[in-house]
Every structure is written in C-alpha cells, then in structure tokens.
Copies of this chain bind each other. A is one copy, B any other.
Amino acid sequence: MDYIPYCHQVQYYETDMMGVAHHANYIHWMEEARVDFMDQLGFPYGGMERAGIVSPVTKLACEYKHPSTFGDVVTVIVSVAELGGASLTIGYLMKKEDGTTVLEGTSRHVFTDKEGRILRLKRDLPEFYAALEEQL
C-alpha cells in the first residue's frame, strides 16, 4: 500500500472561545483518518459493519503539542502502532502545513461479532491481520 496521509480542514464550528480547535474534535479527526486508512488498506469500516463486525475503541491517548485553528489544514499520518492477539493500536501524528506538530496520539480497538464476542485477529480475520502486519 502506498499510504496517503489524511487531511482535515479545521471548521469554524470546531473552534471554541479560546480561538482554537476544541481538544475533543481531534478525536473526530483521528476517526476520520483511521476510517480513511482502513479504506486505503482495503478493509473499509462500512464493509466490516455489513459483515457484522464492530470495532469499539477501548483506549485513547493524546498529547496536544500545538493548537490549530479555523482554516488550518491538519495532516493526519496514521500508522499501525501495535498488533495484539485481539487488539489493534493505531498511531496518529498530526501536523500543520508549516510542519508544526499538533498532536501525537494512539487509539486501541477490539473487533467483535454480532453477539459481542471479541474476535482473535489472526484466527478470525486472517487477511485483515496480514494487511495490518505489513504496516508494522
């Protein structure tokens, strides 16, 4: 895969009275970039959901390095940070157009079937696991 980082333009409604993007919105941008990454990987979220697989977030960590504000274009570079037996940790690096690092973060995910049973990635989703492993 020839990965192309995701770009998010900061919206007016994402700013707060401090004049910068409110910190909760970065969680949205992480999701946008993760969904885009999965598309590029060939395993779109929509397809997974239709196959009865859901993927809740179990852990989140963010370091806010510099603020961003309305009109800024924030590039989100997604990576596979850790691939466990039943969980996937995604890494995020966000930068502004001038190269300033905005955020560094991770999110951990599990994958469950319709009954809520946690799937073993290698055994239950072998092709997805292989594609992720290649990104490590």
Stretch at the interface among A51-59, A74-82, A88-96: A51-59
| Total interface residues in chain A, CB < 8 Å | 36
Q: How far is the CA of A56 from the CA of B68 in the complex (A)?
A: 12
Interface residue ranges of A1-33 to B (CB < 8 Å): 11-13, 15-20, 22-25, 27-28, 31-32
Main DSSP-derived SS at the A contact region = mixed
Q: Does A63 count as interface, using CB distance less than 8 angstroms?
A: yes
Q: How far is the CA of A57 from the CA of B16 in the complex (A)?
A: 13
Which residues of chain B come closer than 8 Å to A23, judged between CB atoms?
27, 56-57, 60
Known contacts A17-B12, A58-B63: A28-B35 contact under CB 8 Å: no
